[in-house]
A and B are shown apart, each in its own frame.
Chain A
Amino acid sequence: MTSKVQHVQDNSVAERRLRPIYDWLDIGNNKKALQECEKVLKKTPNLLCAKALKALTLHRMGKEGEALAILEALTADSPTDDATLQAMTLCYRELQQLEKICKLYETAVKLEPANEELYTHLFMSYARVFDFKSQQKTAMTLYKHKPKTPYYCWAVMSIILQATRGEGKNDAKKRSLLLSLAERMMEKLIVDGKLDAEQEVQLYVMVLELQGKFEEVLVILDGPLGTKLACSNQPHNKLKYLVPLKCWDDVNLLCKGILIESVDRWDIWKEYINSVFALMEAKPYESNNHDNGASDNDLETVDDTPEKCHEFICRIVENGADNGFLLRGPYLARFELCSRLVKCNVDSSDVLGETIELFIEYFRKFGHKPCCVSDLRHYLDLLDCEKKAELSARLIKDVGISSTSVPQSEQQMQRHLCALQLSRLCGAHRNLTSDHLKALVTAFSLHYEHGYQTYGTNLLSTDLGPSDPYALLAAHVLYDLSQSEKKSEPIVAALVLLENMLKNSPSNFHAKLLCVRLYHTVGGCLGAQNMYSSLDTKHLQLDSLGFIHCARLATTGLYSLCSNLFDVTLKFFSSNYKDSSDHITFSYKYGSFIKLDEFMDFRERLNNSMHYTTVAIDRIVLSLVECTTLDTLYNIDISPKDDKIDWEALRDNHDLSVYISWDPERIKGPPEEYEEIRTFFKQNKIFLKLRTSLLWALSAAVDIVKSSDGVRTKYMDQLATILADWEELSTKNRNHAPLCQHLVTLPLPSRLHVALATPHFDIVGRMLRLLLAVVSEGCSKEDDLVEKIESGVKAMVDMIENRGKNSADLIYRRETMEYVVNAVEVLSVSSLICLLCNDLVKPPSKKGKKKVSEASSWKETVVRLANSFKTHINALNEVLQTWAQFSVSSDLALMLESVNLSNDGHNVCENIVNSYVLAVREIQCVLKNKIKMLSSIQ
């Protein structure tokens, strides 16, 4: 009966029957897929694969429990056919239960120990959970069955990972033992003549590299194995090993050889100059050799002095002179040489002449290229303040455009732009009077307009306008003005200017990024939203650029926008975390062992993203703000990232450098490295900890209410501990200075500051203490607690009312909105706690009557609090009503006039005013629902 033929036939019949299920799943029609599953299972109730697909379908329909039940039953059947196992693997992967996949294949290989494919899957299942030891064992078993070199290499790689990321990570002895084992295994492969593929040689090199055996690597690169490294064995690869071996002669000569061929290789220039100084150190500088006889053959002589180095640079410059077009490499190499000399306290002018002349020369040669600025930026610190001022003046003069003339060609315009940007970097825009700044804005915007009319009208919509940088500069200067005058009108003026520019140049992402920042500064989040969506950010950009918009949205009160972007962001993170184990299995499959370490780091980087954690928490808080019934509350998962936040590993993945800037601070390096950004990150982390405390506390409170008497004390203890920690955290973090706002390209201040100024703990924490008192049926009446809560809430609402009256300035107004949003959070969560308390004091229906009297006195307290909350929520509601009605001041018109901008800022003003109107509407809706909810407490 069960002959092989029969089996094969069965398979093809089954395959045909299952096909429609796969098709429905592929296009995402789960309902149809489920119907099809049922149909197939009716005909063939024991078709395991159909069951597995049913589980997958059910999971995708959100029926996790049913899916798991099927999977468990299937596991007991010990399937070994590929289709079933694959479907189950997929399902477990989506359920994030990767260990179960290992178990599945462990059983399968026991039943079919000769099945190569099953072993391969078992290996991959271990790779997904980073079980390096089991990986190694499986790979070796596999190799014994099928002696293919790749399997052997899998085993070696698994050993390497044990050394670098497994038990050898913190144990030097283990590490070296494991690595030398890996090395011996690779040597055996060579002896057997089985080392052939490029990836395998790379693996061998990796083993040697990890042990610091660089000489051995060099031998391989030069030997017969080196020829197998066809794609990766380039001459400059040797540098990687020659440098740590301090073979400076070889480094020097190798670099020279490469540079003669390709003069624009910047990495090689740096290594070359580095080697010159290393050689110089070895052979003191005083023997400055004066003979320069070996000029013909100097590719074979080592350059060990700055003079020789300079001569080499000059020679390459001369070679290039007859090439027709200029390459920047050797010219920039001079700067590198100069900066190294300065670092060694050697007077560079002996060799290179006056440093400032280097800049002038470079500018004359390359000033018409936009990259000239970023080339020179890094070296500007070779000049002191005075020289910087001199450079700035000379560059502007060199371009030949005065306050009364305009560029005569597009090239001259680009040179003008470069000169202006460099002079801003030199500090030329610092410490100017308001009038002077305004004059700059006027000049820049006129230049922009002229450049647009002359060179920018016939461009494709995807091109950036050639004169756009003038407008960007003008916007930056306007921001300076807003800082020095402490007013927001210049920011609005900058937005008017940029919005106008974007009409001409709709693809300029620099302008859009700047607009997002500026709109958020003045609370015009609808404008920010428009700009943000036109940037079309997606995928990883949700993390790297999340700070520009998503991270600010939570402070705006625009709950519907928040909800959308939060969900998109969270979906990106969770689905990519699931996929990320696939990339690791791909690496094994294709033998790209060199990428494995990187892939694992990247996976961690993504999962430990600070932004991810922030949004995960914000999403939960938002659900709480919107929650209006206890049932809904019970269904919210209040533990962010399943409480698996690794605080130490959290990292800031934001690409702050995306903001173009010519502020002098940028000379030092990218903003990610600024001290104040590190502080900012720490502040954000404290903010997150405070916020998680609130969530944990509330979660424990819910557990208390939901639990029966037996386990209740456990949760009560938990809540008490969390509250104590939270209180400590909020009291010890009182003094944090907000991130200085003098640079437009840095983020807005951390949300920590407003959060700390809001009585989160004083109100919510006390509410939870009250809940503890209620549940423990404490006899002491907590009047004191109740009064403190009431006065706290009143003070919070009063503060907002005062802020509303205080100032009409938009920057202040934006901050007030952040206070409002915080207050709404406090009120929402407190109201929910009220509801929880109310649930606790409901007289238990069947239990004894003796508690009733105590319960009723608590009942009074809860009702009193609910009424009090209602009163204050109503008060806040009214405050908001009047506060939302405003118009952007007429000062704006004056401002625009003073910098000669056309007075058509209506669009920008509308964006700002409407943002507040819409936010207040959404907030009032939340408040109204809270009042309704509290009214159920009587």
Chain B
Amino acid sequence: MTTLRPFTCDDMYKFNNVNLDPLTETYGLSFYMRYLAHWPEYFQVAESPSGEIMGYIMGKAEGIGENWHGHVTALTVSPDFRRLGLAATLMNFLEDVSEKKRAYFVDLFVRVSNKVAINMYTNLGYIIYRTVLEYYSGDPDEDAYDMRKALSRDVNQKSVIPLTHPVRPEDVD
């Protein structure tokens, strides 16, 4: 049970219940602000009936030619509101917007260790397009999967033919 609405600056004052979870990063203000200024339609929040923030998604559209695509920058759901299909709702929204923008596909990065997330994205129709080596810095660095789902404009599903070789982060455009 959800109210889906555009994320506003003030929501940053209320998203602690989501962001204090260790898997959700709290970024510097300008990071959020840049997304709000540039891609406001891609930044949505799911609110509970009692007005709490249950989760949010932030994304963008970028790329030239057949690489024009929607990108999921962050997707997070508060522990109390998991297993309610919320992530799927938010992803659907982002895919919808990307369809309307005539994007060819949607992509996202995920830690190779994050089995739960990978599973969920697979269930939503995403495939592992390629591995990005040492994408996440830390001790040790961790690889990322670049996962993709083709949109209707990519009639021949060209965007989702997996690469056979992993790539370095600097080769990711």
Contact = CB atoms under 8 A, between A and B. Distances in A.
A655 B29 contact: no
Interface in B60-75: none
Interface residues of B, number: 46
A47 interface: no
Interface in B1-40: 1-5, 8-10, 12-14, 16-17, 19-23, 26-30, 33-34, 36-38, 40
A22 interface: no
Interface string B45-81: 0011111101000000000000000000000000111
B158 interface: no
B106 to A, nearest CB: 14
Of B21, B33, B79, B100, the most chain A CB neighbours within 10 A belong to B33
Contacts of A328: 1
Contacts of B49: 266, 332, 374-375, 378
A339 B83 CA distance: 28
Contacts of B26: 536-541
B37 A658 contact: no
Nearest to B33: A583
A231 B165 CA distance: 36
A414 to B, nearest CB: 11
Interface string B136-173: 00000000000000000000000000000000000000
A6 interface: no
Interface in B64-118: 79-81, 83-84, 89, 97, 100-101
A670 B51 contact: yes
Interface string A301-326: 00000000000000000000000000
Dominant secondary structure of chain A at its interface with chain B: helix
A266 B30 contact: no
A329 interface: yes
A886 interface: no
Interface string A359-384: 00000000001110011011000000
Given A657-B52, A658-B16, A579 B79 contact: no
Given A264-B1, A507-B22, A657-B52, A586 B37 contact: yes
Nearest to A576: B29
B41 interface: yes
Interface in A583-600: 583, 586-587, 589-590, 592, 594-595, 598-599
A374 B48 contact: yes
A267 B16 contact: no
Interface in A823-850: none
Nearest to A461: B22
Nearest to A231: B41
A602 interface: yes
A582 B101 CA distance: 26
Interface string A438-471: 0000000000000000000000011010000000
Contact of A265 (B3, B20, B54): B3
A544 interface: yes
Given A370-B80, A507-B22, A509-B20, A655 B14 contact: yes
Contacts of A540: 12-13, 26, 29
Contact of B9 (A265, A545, A579, A599): A599
A583 B34 CA distance: 7
A369 B84 contact: yes
A800 B45 CA distance: 51
Contacts of B52: 374, 657
Contacts of A576: 29-30
B1 A374 contact: no
A27 interface: no
A580 B32 CA distance: 12
Given A374-B48, A579-B30, A653 B1 contact: no
A592 B81 contact: no
Nearest to B46: A266
Given A230-B100, A327-B1, A541-B19, A586 B10 contact: no
A658 B12 CA distance: 12
A192 interface: no
Contacts of B54: 371
A601 B9 contact: yes
9 contacts: A266-B1, A267-B5, A327-B1, A370-B79, A371-B48, A605-B10, A605-B13, A657-B17, A658-B17
Given A332-B49, A586-B33, A590-B37, 4 more contacts: A328-B1, A462-B21, A583-B36, A653-B13
Minimum-distance CB pairs A-B, first 4: A602-B9, A586-B37, A509-B20, A267-B3
Interface of A: 230-232, 264-267, 327-329, 332, 369-371, 374-375, 377-378, 461-462, 464, 507, 509, 513, 535-541, 543-545, 576, 579-580, 582-583, 586-587, 589-590, 592, 594-595, 598-599, 601-602, 605, 653, 655, 657-658, 670
Interface of B: 1-5, 8-10, 12-14, 16-17, 19-23, 26-30, 33-34, 36-38, 40-41, 47-52, 54, 79-81, 83-84, 89, 97, 100-101
